[in-house]
Structure 1
Amino acid sequence: MTQRSMRDERRPANDGRRVAARNRAALVLAAREIYAEYGLDAPLCAIARRAGVGQGVLYRHFPDRAAVATAVLEENVRQIEQAAAAPDADLVTVLGVLTWHQTQSSAFISVLHTDGASCPSDTPEYAAALSGRVERALRAHLPDGHRLTAAKDDLMIAVAMVSGAVTGRTREQRERRAWAAWRLLEVEVGPVCPFSDEPCGQPPLV
């Protein structure tokens, strides 16, 4: 067997890994969109259709409903951590990314209330771990003397309060209510957007 033929034989496996990674990313994105529109009880087949894959592909990546929701939550937290780690990051920018995920994910809102009652694994430890990662990402950019430093729990209480205000049938409605809640708390928030190149929402004029 020649060296060239050996390289040719390996290509399908590499392509398969790339396709699998793309399918998984598409499924997580589709799940976030479906959950935002229809809630956590939406059928898994709707997620597969939105992602453009068969339901068998979904089950190869995620064995059950909890695994799908967990993947969405992990991606939410990962993007907030990425935003916090960016060279030009500040609290205003990171809060904008956090708020985008609040307006997109009802499961994420439950986690930010930190009681664990509605997290996919039904364990308070799971919710607390994710909430703790969010808190560390935010606190890394919390300036001394900021109004959210008055007491130890003020930061995450404020986040939970905003989460409770995020309601509405459309993303625009949910964003407007989130901005209003932060404004009432007298906390500045940057553009509401994911940590990516997607267009960002701007605070409405009031």
Structure 2
Amino acid sequence: MTQHPRTDGRRPPNAGPKASARNRAALTAAAREVFAEQGINAALSSIARRAGVGQGVLYRHFPDRAAVAAAVLEENVREVEQAAAAEGASFAMVLGVLSWHMTESAAFISVLHGANEAAGGSVGPAYARELSDRLEYALRTRIPDDHRLAEDANLMLAVGMVSGAVIGPTREDRERRVLDAWRLLAVEVGPVRPFDG
């Protein structure tokens, strides 16, 4: 975060690595919000402003748009993996976390469709494939054997179909659409919310 001089004229002490980690987390959270509101091609300066840092700080952490998108994507997948690994997690609960990320992250939708053109093509298809594979693995750890989506091709096809329905100008619109899409597929989904550990 930007340091402002204290009233006695001296700058506050440098917080070092703690500030760096805070800035990176703030930038990733801001990128998720800005991409959801303005699309993946939103100005990087908007992300820096939302995070409360200068553009130089953004570029210290992320050299380009693709790196920002990759950080958001990595966090999305990591949260779904954590939800799937949680004791007592159900498939419906994990789908609720996945659905929250679909409604919050325009960049995530690109990965779910195996596309990456929206980020300028520089995230890389191999990385997108790796994230998609990790996501599928996490979901498969919780899907019951007799579930209608348990067959090899059905699970990620359904995820792709539902993510394609996630449109709308507001978060509420997008959440309604994602729940309607799961309902049309006759798939139970838990509460649409982030994984809270």
Unaligned runs of 5+ in 1: 1-11, 198-206
Which residue in the other structure is 1:123 paired with? 124
What is the rounded CA distance, in whole Å, between the counterparts of 1:117 and 1:147 in structure 2? 32
- RMSD of aligned alpha carbons: 1.5
Structure with greater contact order relative to length (CA < 8 Å, sep ≥ 6): 2
Task: State the 4+ residue runs in structure 1 displaced beyond 3 angstroms.
Answer: 115-120
The answer to whether the 8 A contact 1:117-1:123 is kept is no
Q: How many residues are aligned here? A: 184
Which residue in the other structure is 2:171 paired with? 171
Offset from partner CA, 1:32-54 (integer Å, 9 cap, x none): 00000000111111001100111
CA radius of gyration, larger in: 1
Which residue in the other structure is 2:8 paired with? none
Which residue in the other structure is 1:77 paired with? 77
Residue identity opposite 1:113 in structure 2:
H
The answer to whether the 8 A contact 2:62-2:68 is kept is yes
Report the identity percentage: 65
Which residue in the other structure is 2:137 paired with? 136
Unaligned runs of 5+ in 2: 1-12
What is the rounded CA distance, in whole Å, between the counterparts of 1:183 and 1:97 in structure 2? 16
Residue identity opposite 1:68 in structure 2:
V
Offset from partner CA, 1:141-171 (integer Å, 9 cap, x none): 010110112x311000000000010000000
Offset from partner CA, 1:91-134 (integer Å, 9 cap, x none): 01100000001111121111111255546535321211100000
The answer to whether the 8 A contact 1:116-1:126 is kept is no
What is the rounded CA distance, in whole Å, between the counterparts of 2:125 and 2:117 in structure 1? 7
Which residue in the other structure is 2:10 paired with? none
What is the rounded CA distance, in whole Å, between the counterparts of 1:127 and 1:182 in structure 2? 23
**Corresponding position: 1:146 with 2:142:** no
